[in-house]
Structure 1
Amino acid sequence: MPGGCKPIELSERQETILRIVKDEGPITGEHIAEKLNLTRATLRPDLAILTMSGFLEARPRVGYFYSGKTGNQLLGEHIRKLTVKDRKSVPVVCQEETSVYDAICTMFLEDVGTLFVVKEGGVLVGVVSRKDLLKSSMGNQDLQSIPVGIVMSRMPNIITCSPDDTLLSAASKLISSQVDALPVVKEREGGDDGPEVIGRITKTTVTKAFVELGEGATV
């Protein structure tokens, strides 16, 4: 499927179980086993996989139902359940007083494209990108004398996300805002001076998550 998500691949026996349940459900595990001339214990792993994957629904004392959902629908549901707090990485930060030279060195050593500028308590005050630092380095300026605070984007003009946001919503913000990274923030109790940075979500974060989903789609 060009450009689409990799569908969940089922074994031949699991496909057969799906057909039986689709045609005759609700049906018990014992009846499915009888139709396949297998024991209930042999089928238990297959039924567990099909149920946990969302292809089948099970009700006590009634049996199995076909959910009617395709592999891509189920994968889409799983994607929408991914949260920022489960995928965020450690933020790379600096202070307003940090020189542009030192910020460039930090960005290079940490292999990141964005630095979050914080003050005491990890409070977010700005963001500086690779593009910001590149602009400031043009010309014959002394990069060690220029503080990051002069070239950074300041709050509240910064797009952020929270730990409870979905990864999908964070990805949408990355695309719509045309930025490479989002600071993950939480509100501080009694903190009127701004939110605290507790992580970061980048385009690489999102890409890794979708690659893992694709590679883990085969059951």
Structure 2
Amino acid sequence: MTLTDRQKEIIDIVKKYQPITGKEIGERLFLTRSALRTDFSILTGMKILESKPKIGYTYIGKDETEKVKDIMGPPITIDTNLSVYETIINIFSKDVGTIFITDNDQLVGVVSRKDLLKIAIGKTDIDKIPINVIMTRMPNIIYVEENDSVLDSVKKLIAHQIDSLPVVRVEEKNGIKFLKIVGRLTKTNITKLFMEFLSK
């Protein structure tokens, strides 16, 4: 969730003057405490601020922006040397719409059920075709990094009309940078986050 400018200002005030009461925060913003009630509720619900009776608000250190690493699931991957047939078995047994292809933990490709269906209905021998022949490769893979904001990641999901994104960490080996896959962000992860927020 993206915070409003006023909520960010409240956080800055609490960081600087904590512990501080709601009334004192209101005075600094020239607003009543009741006018800020919703903001306080959101900030405490998101565990950015903590409210203690007779003491006031304190900042408890959570980043104001939800990060991908906070809600991502484990990556669903296969090795690059598997066949199309073996990939089909994997994608259906793991019940996912997209599977990520790796080479020594490095993200090298992505393939969806739609990609597999297209080749499976042809007259090709899918048991002999390696998955790296049909997978989407870099630089055409849409991905996010673990410290990206959830909001920016949702925008990518919507813009590219996809169900999941590989979550990567940029690492370096022998002076060469590569993308290590560390997670998977799906529409289900986003929905769970939304439900948690609504239930607070």
TM-score calculated relative to the size of structure 2: 0.70
Larger Cα Rg: Structure 1 or Structure 2? Answer: 1
Report % sequence identity: 38
- The CA deviation at 1:145 is 1.1
* Native 8 Å contact 2:168 2:181 kept in 1: yes
Structure 1 gaps of 5+ residues are 6-50
1:88 aligns with 2:72: yes
**Using the alignment, how far apart are the partners of 1:104 and 1:75 within structure 2?**
44
* Native 8 Å contact 1:118 1:126 kept in 2: yes
Aligned residue in 2 for 1:167: 150
Aligned residue in 1 for 2:61: none
**Using the alignment, how far apart are the partners of 1:207 and 1:170 within structure 2?**
13
Aligned pairs for 1:22-61 (under 5 A) are 59=20
Rate the CA distance shift 1:196–1:213 in 2: closer, same or farther, 3 A: same
**Using the alignment, how far apart are the partners of 2:103 and 2:188 within structure 1?**
26
Aligned residue in 2 for 1:113: 97
1:128 aligns with 2:94: no
* Native 8 Å contact 1:125 1:194 kept in 2: no
Q: Which amino acid aligns with 2:156?
A: K
Q: Point out the structure with the larger helix share.
A: 1
SS state of the match for residue 182, structure 1? strand
1:141 aligns with 2:102: no
- The CA deviation at 1:59 is 2.2
Structure 2 gaps of 5+ residues are 2-10, 27-32, 47-63
- The CA deviation at 1:133 is 0.7
**Using the alignment, how far apart are the partners of 1:71 and 1:211 within structure 2?**
18
Q: Which amino acid aligns with 2:92?
A: F
Q: Which amino acid aligns with 2:119?
A: S
Rate the CA distance shift 1:210–1:193 in 2: closer, same or farther, 3 A: same
Aligned length: 161
1:47-106 per-position Cα deviation (integer Å, ceiling 9, x unaligned): xxxx9xx9xx9626x74632745748975995x721101111110111222111111111
**Using the alignment, how far apart are the partners of 1:69 and 1:175 within structure 2?**
33
SS state of the match for residue 181, structure 2? strand
1:147-176 per-position Cα deviation (integer Å, ceiling 9, x unaligned): 111111001111111111111111111111
* Native 8 Å contact 1:58 1:64 kept in 2: no
Rate the CA distance shift 1:212–1:59 in 2: closer, same or farther, 3 A: closer
TM-score calculated relative to the size of structure 1: 0.64
**Using the alignment, how far apart are the partners of 1:87 and 1:99 within structure 2?**
31
1:202 aligns with 2:186: yes
Q: Which amino acid aligns with 2:127?
A: Q
